[in-house]
C-alpha cells in the first residue's frame, strides 16, 4: 500500500475517533446508531478494515456529520 493511502486512512481513523469522543459517544453507542456490532467500530478505529465510502457515510451520519471530499493539487 502506498504511503499516501496509509496517511489518508490514518487521518480518517483519527478523525472518526476524535469526533466520536467529542460527541461523548462510546463505540457501542455509535454501533447501535448505525446498525452494526461494536467490534466492527473497534476494527475500524484500529485501522484493521478498509471501509467503503458508503460505510464512511453511515459512520458520519451516526456521528451527526456529513462527509466532505476535496481534491487538492499536489505540491511537487
Query: Is 39 inside a domain boundary?
Result: yes
Would 68 be classed as within a structural domain? Answer: no
| CA atoms of 29 and 20, how far apart (whole Å) | 10
**Residue 26, domain member (yes or no):** yes
Domain range holding 19? Answer: 3-62
pLDDT of residue 66: 97
Domain count, the chain: 1
Q: Kindly state whether residue 8 falls inside one of the protein's structural domains.
A: yes
Kindly state whether residue 74 falls inside one of the protein's structural domains.
no
Distance CA 16, CA 19 (A): 5
Looking at the domain assignment, is residue 70 inside a domain? no
Task: Kindly state whether residue 71 falls inside one of the protein's structural domains.
Answer: no
Q: What is the CATH number of the domain that holds 9?
A: 1.10.260.40
Q: What digits encode the pLDDT tens for the residues 23-66?
A: 999 999 999 999 999 999 999 999 999 999 999 999 999 999 99
Choice among 3-7, 44-48, 65-69 with the minimum mean pLDDT: 3-7
Mean pLDDT of 9-26: 96
Higher pLDDT, 31 or 8: 31
Predicted TM-score of the model (pTM): 0.84
**Sequence-ordered alpha helix ranges (H) in the chain:** 3-22, 27-34, 38-45, 53-62
Taking the C-alpha atoms of residue 76 and residue 56, their distance in angstroms, rounded to an integer, is 30
Amino acid at each position: 500500500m502506498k504511503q499516501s493511502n496509509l496517511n489518508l486512512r490514518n487521518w480518517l481513523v483519527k478523525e472518526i475517533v476524535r469526533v466520536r469522543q467529542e460527541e461523548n459517544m462510546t463505540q457501542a453507542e455509535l454501533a447501535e446508531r448505525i446498525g452494526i456490532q461494536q467490534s466492527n467500530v473497534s476494527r475500524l478505529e484500529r485501522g484493521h478494515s478498509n471501509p467503503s465510502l458508503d460505510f464512511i457515510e453511515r459512520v458520519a451520519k451516526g456521528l451527526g456529520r456529513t462527509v466532505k471530499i476535496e481534491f487538492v493539487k499536489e505540491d511537487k
